[in-house]
Structure 1
């Protein structure tokens, strides 16, 4: 059967049938390239690598060379299927049952990519090209993985070519209950920390000649985890610190370990920046350690600083498109985890809008066929209004 690129359902099914679990491309990017090139897009396959990480295949496709330059960003990589036996349908079959399209990536986010491609091609066919400006796709294969060899490096590649993006829509599934509920205009920052408290290994019967790090670690993380970081801001919910891992290098019940480790994740709002939240954690840990006479190391990692896209042309154009198609006035929110918008916000205003996210990463991930069609209409209205306004 010949694939009709302007049919979002068929395109979503075809993408789902590519078993592109991070970092495998599995034909998904090739499929998109084969759809976009005949429509006039210039496509670049960008393979990036870094020692200790898998190579990642990415796709940049652009139609036009002028401004304004509107980009759609997304990812074809998906998380593993999990319990394969628990799926009602094969996870990579792209089957439709009772009006629902099932498959890994149906929501996050192959369905969203299919909807935007279909909307873009309908718009281009209607006008015989772009009336003005440029339209592009930034599609990575690394969003669900370490996010090292994907969007961040694609943006560096664009910068080296002096390509400017004026606005970007990321197709992350943003709606909690119904299409049109929310547009995400920002994200909290995400910071990881590892706290290692050092002691002295010994026999548990002779604690006087050992130094148990576990109680000291427990008191330090209690001090960190119970502190109130802030009360939230106009755009964000309160910041929070969560202890996610506690471990010791010991399986024997009669041995005091030599060290103990805790891993923390901090989600912070615009009260903070990456440097200021790190300073708060360092100072709080130092005060607790001084009281406990604890020796410790504290290290940080993380790739997402807090950001918010203020209402303007991009936000209003998308909001109007959502309302015109669904009748709903979407809330402007900043909830959820992280996405590749955390990289894109450094080059242009960025928002996120996609499908209903209630089944992402789950067994039997699915979206309704009706929602895919509605999303295509929303994206189509958004593209049209963006290029005819301003």
Structure 2
């Protein structure tokens, strides 16, 4: 279930609240980034409070429809994603961000409180400054330059939960949001940090889990069954499969650096003591598929191998690679407006892994550097924030005001 909020026009004869005042005074990107960063929204906790704040700001700058997509995660924590719309019709332009962040432990070496953002030497510091509350703030500040009656095509801003947890929030948006369904025929800008370079493709994700069952007993009794021993033949075959994915041409895509992805193999028996026969052994298989790679064939090989050795097999998550051809009008427009000559690729993934199921024309462009994501004393340059506002403003003008491809 999603909830659509229709915001009423501001009354004429009322004392202005702080948010009504923002209708006349556009938010400053540095200030808005600080405010967003000040909300701790680590993925294992709720993001509802910061998302409600973002929704309030979006309403104040002119978005007249805001759809809420709430859900409860596997740990029972309430999460919230939103899709906001300015203007009429469908298609248009979508600016896509997330507001969850990875954990920030002050004991890891932070020089100041990660949720009390600070500025020094032209950089704004704090958890999520680069990934990606700064880019989110830039998209909102760009939208604030426009009013609904100026737009020939609609503008959407999407803010998701749990991007850092396999894009769960974006999966809910893709499956449940009416406004996203409207927007999916248009163009999407994923605002992850790229230093404002145009990224036309990124890798997807695949997570598989294989479990062997044993029998717990004291190892001196010889009555136990070691689940790890049952897993070893399967692991040997997965090691051979990993060599294939790292060398075979069918798993290669030269648009990416590196041009292959590994089959990352993990193993854990969660055993409580070394003198107990492990009752269970769990193998995790993670792979980052590139466009054009036969993922179904890879899954089928792993599944048949697990069955061969009497092991339980599950596909835990699957996210599509993002790929918009370099010849696409969106890529050409993005290159023209950024002044760049060539679109590139990245090895990481974004919410685009979920959105790609319905939206076919997307690129990744955002202020800040992905190298700062998830780091201690994470920062984004103020200059990048201002350039991000300028670029998003020109994109909105091109697509939504002028109505151009």
TM-score bin (small chain): 0.7 to 0.9
Structure that is richer in strand per residue: 1
- Selected match of 1:320 from 321, 330, 336: 336
- Counterpart of 2:351 (choices 336, 340, 343) is 340
Secondary structure in 1 aligned to 2:207? strand
Query: What residue in structure 2 maps to residue 329 of structure 1?
Result: 341
Once residues 278 and 57 of structure 2 are traced to their aligned partners in structure 1, the CA distance between those partners, rounded to angstroms, is 58
Q: Is residue 157 from structure 1 mapped to residue 176 from structure 2 by the alignment?
A: yes
| Structure 2 residue 68 is matched with structure 1 residue 46 | yes
Equivalent pair of 1:197/1:261 in contact (CA under 8 Å): yes
| Per-residue deviation, 1:164 | 3.9
Tell me the distance in 1 between the aligned counterparts of 2:215 and 2:137: 57
Q: Structure 2: how far apart are the matches of 1:58 and 1:201?
A: 44
TM-score, structure 1 as length reference = 0.83
Residue 56 (str. 1) matches residue 68 (str. 2): no
Task: Give the direction of change, closer, same or farther, for the CA distance of 1:155–1:204 in structure 2 (3 Å limit).
Answer: closer
Match in the other structure for 2:394: 381
SS in 1 for 2:46: coil
Match of 2:15 in 1: none
Superposed CA RMSD in Å reads 2.8
Rate the CA distance shift 1:330–1:37 in 2: closer, same or farther, 3 A. same
**Structure 1 residues 72-91: aligned runs within 5 Å:** 72-84=95-107, 86-91=109-114
Match of 1:292 in 2: none
Partner residue in 2 for 1:365? 378
* Segment of structure 1 superposing worse, 58-67 or 266-275: 266-275
Residue 206 to residue 24, structure 1, CA distance change in 2 (3 Å): closer
Q: What is residue 217 of structure 1 aligned with on the other side?
A: 231
DSSP 3-state at the match of 2:357: coil
Native 8 Å contact 2:156 2:183 kept in 1: no
Partner of 1:116: 139
- Give deviations 1:224-261, integer Å, cap 9, x for gaps: 134312331244422321113322535133x4334422
Structure 1 pair 248/56, CA: closer, same or farther in 2 (3 Å)? Answer: closer
CA separation of 1:155 and 1:361: change in aligned 2, threshold 3 A: same
Distance 1:252 1:62 in 2: 58
* C-alpha contact (below 8 Å) 2:69/2:173 kept by paired residues: no
What SS does the aligned partner of 1:240 have?
coil
Aligned-partner SS, 1:163: helix
Does residue 303 of structure 2 align to residue 282 of structure 1? yes
Q: CA deviation at 1:299?
A: 1.8
Contact conserved, 2:90 with 2:182, CA < 8 A, in 1?
no
2:274 to 244, 252, 258: 252
Give, in whole Å, the separation in 2 of the partners of 1:271 and 1:12. 38
Aligned equivalent of 2:115, options 77, 92, 95? 92
Q: For 1:196-215, what aligned pairs fall within 5 Å after superposition?
A: 196-201=211-216, 204=219, 211-215=225-229
Which of these residues, 157, 164, 176, is aligned with residue 137 of structure 1? Answer: 157
1:7 aligns with 28
1:44 partner SS? strand
